[in-house]
Amino acid sequence: MKQALLVIVFFIATQLLYAQLPPRDSLVGKWICKEVKMLDDPSLKTEDPKVVAQMTNVFIKSVFDFNSNGKFNLKFDQSVPKEISQGSEFLNKNWTVDLAKGYIRIGEAKENIAQIYVKQNNNKTFFIIQDIPVLMLVERVR
């Protein structure tokens, strides 16, 4: 019963976070990840703490680059292991805003590379990548 309640609370909380998607023009530019917090995900209780820590730390100082020409790049910090940072999965991919579903789509619909939910609260912007239970505080790079 307790686990079912946690799943329901997690679902409601994530739906509230995903509810607001700013206009496309306000997303164009480079965004650097300043902080990462794990979302309460019951499936992570069985994960190795080192794996969970790595999942959290991989995004710190990463840059999400949404170009006005519709291209997207994710550049990881130099401290991220090469086997993670050298993947081309997030390089020079198309990005679009899906207002109906409330997220930014990375790649073509058939590729299904990633969906990024955006939440703005108290002049702060947060990204959540679907299927990765982390909340990222991001700031636009000036």
pLDDT tens sequence across 86-113:
666 788 899 999 888 889 999 988 887 8
pLDDT band, very low/low/confident/very high, at 7 (cuts 50, 70, 90): very low
Q: Residue 70: left (phi > 0), alpha (psi -120 to 50), or beta?
A: left
**Domain 2-140 grouped into CATH 1.10.275:** no
Rounded Cα distance, 9 and 28, in Å: 32
What is the percent of the chain where pLDDT is above 90? 39
In this prediction, residue 86 carries a pLDDT of 67
Q: Which residues contact 91 (CB under 8 A, 6 or more apart)?
A: 73, 74
Lookup: tokens for 59: 């995004």
pLDDT computed for residue 100 by the predictor: 85
The answer to whether the beta carbons of residues 105 and 27 sit under 8 Å apart is no
What is the residue whose two structure tokens read 């991220």?
80
Please state the domain extents for the chain: 2-140
Query: What pTM, to 2 d.p., does this model score?
Result: 0.78
- Integer angstrom CA distances of residue 102 from 31, 96, 99: 19, 11, 5
| pLDDT for residue 31 | 97
